[in-house]
Structure 1
Amino acid sequence: MPGAFCPPALAERSATLPAASGQALAVLAALLEARTGQQIVSHRSTRVDTVLLPLMRERHFDTLDQLVSAMLDGRDASLAGRVVDALVNGETSFFRDPHVFDHVLAIVAEVERTGRRPRIWSAGCSSGQEPLSIAMLFAERHQASGMAVPEIVATDVSEAALARARSGCFTQFEVQRGLPIRQMVHWFEGRPGNEWAVRPELLRHVSFRQMNLVSDPAPGGPFDLVLCRNVMLYLAPEPKRRAFQTISDAMRPSAGLILGAGETVIGQTDLFQLAPVGRGVYEKCVADDPLRRA
């Protein structure tokens, strides 16, 4: 949704926004939920000042109230999008939670026994470390055994995060998080300015696409495995319901879903059930197959 954002309840007082950080936070929360379905929950609100500080400095704003006032006056159509990008850029790293990738290997192996090339969707991929870790995992397997690399699709609501992911460029700190020196040297090339770039032969295994998980259609399908970690945690109940439905509709019957460590489907949706693979892994209920529902 390009252009300036002005929540209906706040539109009439946008020109005289009170100089109170609580009011500014309320506007930012409304913006984030309208654009992405995500909420600024209590433990996340303490990060708002920090993540928006670079943008405030760039635009010469001293307070969040000044930033919000400029966003609401509509003169800078790109500002609201920049704010959302800053707020949704999530914490990520290469091979974050190593046991997750053991689950990925197990699920892919099951699919490959059917003779099909597995399809994997990394939903909420941020700057791309998760899908690139998956690509690394199977590219190394390909080099050792000749087995095909699964098809990997990665999506995020933030175009800024996707631009970074598509570029494949990371700081030395980012590539050192989760990567041993062997993999770092094998899959990355050093660049001037303490930057490292993913080798093209690895980057080509991932297709990056912009997508709002709450309101946009899924990026193709059907998928055999979906990773959607630490996204549902921030969604309000109704957006979360829609996101689960979108994911389910894009999956094969009994396909796997991996959520974040603090997330669950229990009490949230009946579209998935616990999978035998391991903790934090779920599978699509066969009864929710769209073809069966039709």
Structure 2
Amino acid sequence: MEVSQASYQIIADLLAARTGQHLSESRRWRVGTALSGVFREHGISNLDQLVCLLDEPRRRSHDRDLATEVVEALLNNETYFFRDKPTFDQIPDDILPELAQRRRHTKRLSIWCAGCSTGQEVHSLAMLFEDQKALWDGWTIDILGTDVSHRAIRTARTGLYSQFEVQRGLGVTQMLRHFEETPGGWQILDHVRQITRFQQHNVLAEPPARARFDLVLCRNVLLYFDADTRAIAFERLASAMARDGFLMLGAGETVVGQTRAFSPSGKRTSIYELPEQVARSAALSVG
């Protein structure tokens, strides 16, 4: 579908204003496909017509949800359980044991999954703790999942997934242990959900809680920001973290050359810490 530059720019500006995401020219090809559902729902035939409807005064005052529908449709909610497993496996194998040692006196652990989409990442973490239940006995574990998409958060809260979704990243044993098959799909069980919670939140806004997080996952979110917006996001993430906490980014993301708010965490892959903690760890290793 042909997309005029003017209409494309208006849609791009709307997405940036609502989410901070930059709709690059390389993503232009998918705009028509992404918005096809919105077109059908409202009887719209092309992007120019959509932009006209968004600009109508009566639409702005009485049908504000159209703009929200457009933004939601353009968001990339791609996710699956235990995504990028070699990177994710650093959490149970390396990060959680380290945090267990650091928090052994308080026995409290707080984790934030920023840009959690429909919740698979949050529930993957919860399954890790359930599978190591004896190790975490007596601990208070809180896993918060946030996303800019209201629709994604609604799905995450239900914990209900299709056969296709539940098979992505999960083995049969995990499915049977942590999910129940229902007529509506696969429902994650309460013993997994009890340490999780979800809320709508933009990573560019103030952090979602006053308490500092011991581990923050923000994977494949920053890819969609321009350099200036990405710098803001890093500052927000840093302000939300405990001084000795960890940040995990996606495999295609890095802090190097992007921000001074974080530094690589040794030889770990896609794991970062606040600079003062990295310096402290280096001094201890030398000593």
**Within 2, Cα distance between the matches of 1:94 and 1:149?**
23
Aligned to 2:181: 190
Q: Provide the rounded CA distance (Å) in 1 between the counterparts of 2:236 and 2:135.
A: 36
* Residue in structure 1 matching 2:210, options 202, 210, 220: 220
In 2, Cα distance between equivalents of 1:60 and 1:254: 53
User: What amino acid is aligned across from residue 42 of structure 2 in structure 1?
Assistant: R
SS at match of 1:62: coil
| Contact 1:254-1:285 within 8 A present in 2 as well | no
Is contact 1:218–1:246 with CA below 8 Å preserved after alignment?
no
* Structure 2 unaligned residues grouped into runs of 5+: 279-287
The equivalent position to 1:46 in structure 2, one of 13, 29, 34, is: 29
Query: What is the TM-score of this pair, normalised by structure 2?
Result: 0.87
2:97 to 83, 92, 109: 109
State the AA in 2 paired with 1:236.
D
Q: Give the 3-state SS of the residue equivalent to 1:31 in structure 2.
A: helix
Rounded to whole Å, the distance in 1 between the matches of 2:264 and 2:159 is 34
Q: Which residue number corresponds to residue 160 of structure 1? A: 151
SS across alignment from 2:35:
helix
CA deviation vs aligned residue, 1:215-272 (integer Å, no higher than 9, x gap): 3333333111111011111112222111111110111113111111111101110011
Q: Secondary structure at the match of 2:220?
A: coil
Give per-residue Cα distances to partners, 1:77-114, cap 9 Å, x unaligned.
11111111121242101111112332212212111113
CA distance in 1, matches of 2:67, 2:206: 19
Q: What's 2:240 paired with?
A: 250
Q: Cα distance, 1:149 vs. partner? A: 6.5
Partner of 1:269: 259
Superposition deviation, residue 139 in structure 1: 1.1
**Matches of residues 106-185 of structure 1 in structure 2 within 5 Å?**
106-114=94-102, 115=104, 116-142=107-133, 146=137, 148=139, 150-185=141-176
- The sequence identity of aligned pairs, in percent, is 42
Distance 1:243 1:214 in 2: 5
Determine if the alignment matches structure 1 residue 33 to structure 2 residue 20: no
Give the aligned residue type for 1:286: E
Match of 1:71 in 2: 54
For the structure 1 residues 56 and 249, does the alpha-carbon distance in structure 2 shift closer, same or farther, using more than 3 Å as the test? same
Equivalent position of 1:239 in the other structure: 229
Cα distance in 2, alignment partners of residues 264 and 212 from structure 1: 20
Distance 1:254 1:151 in 2: 17
Runs of 4+ in 1 over 6 A off after TM superposition: none
TM-fit CA distance, 1:51: 1.8
What is the CA distance between 1:287 and its match in structure 2? 7.7
1:161-186 deviation line (CA, Å, top 9, x unaligned): 10010011111100011111111122
Is this contact kept in 2: 1:120–1:225, CA < 8 A?
Answer: yes
Structure 1 residue matching 2:161: 3-state secondary structure: strand
Partner of 1:8: none
Indicate the SS of the match to 1:155.
Answer: strand
Equivalent position SS for 1:150? strand
Query: 1:118 aligns to what SS in structure 2?
Result: strand
Compared CA separation, residues 36 and 149, structure 1 to 2 (3 A): same
1:93 counterpart = 2:80: yes
Letter of the aligned partner of 1:41 in structure 2?
A: S
TM-score normalised by length of structure 1:
0.85
Q: In structure 2, what is the equivalent of residue 12 of structure 1?
A: none
Counterpart contact for 2:263–2:272, Cα < 8 Å: yes
Distance 1:149 1:88, change over 3 A: farther
Aligned residue for 2:283?
Answer: none
Q: Distance in 2 between matches of 1:210 and 1:20?
A: 31
Question: Quick one: distance in 1 between partners of 2:136 and 2:224?
Answer: 40
Taking the aligned partners of 2:74 and 2:156, their CA distance within structure 1 comes to 17
What's the counterpart of residue 281 of structure 2? none
Q: Distance in 1 between matches of 2:209 and 2:203?
A: 10
Q: CA distance change for structure 1 residues 92 and 52 in 2, over 3 Å: closer, same or farther?
A: same
Q: Offset of 1:204 from its aligned partner?
A: 2.2
Coordinate RMSD, CA, aligned: 2.0
- Counterpart position of 1:5: none
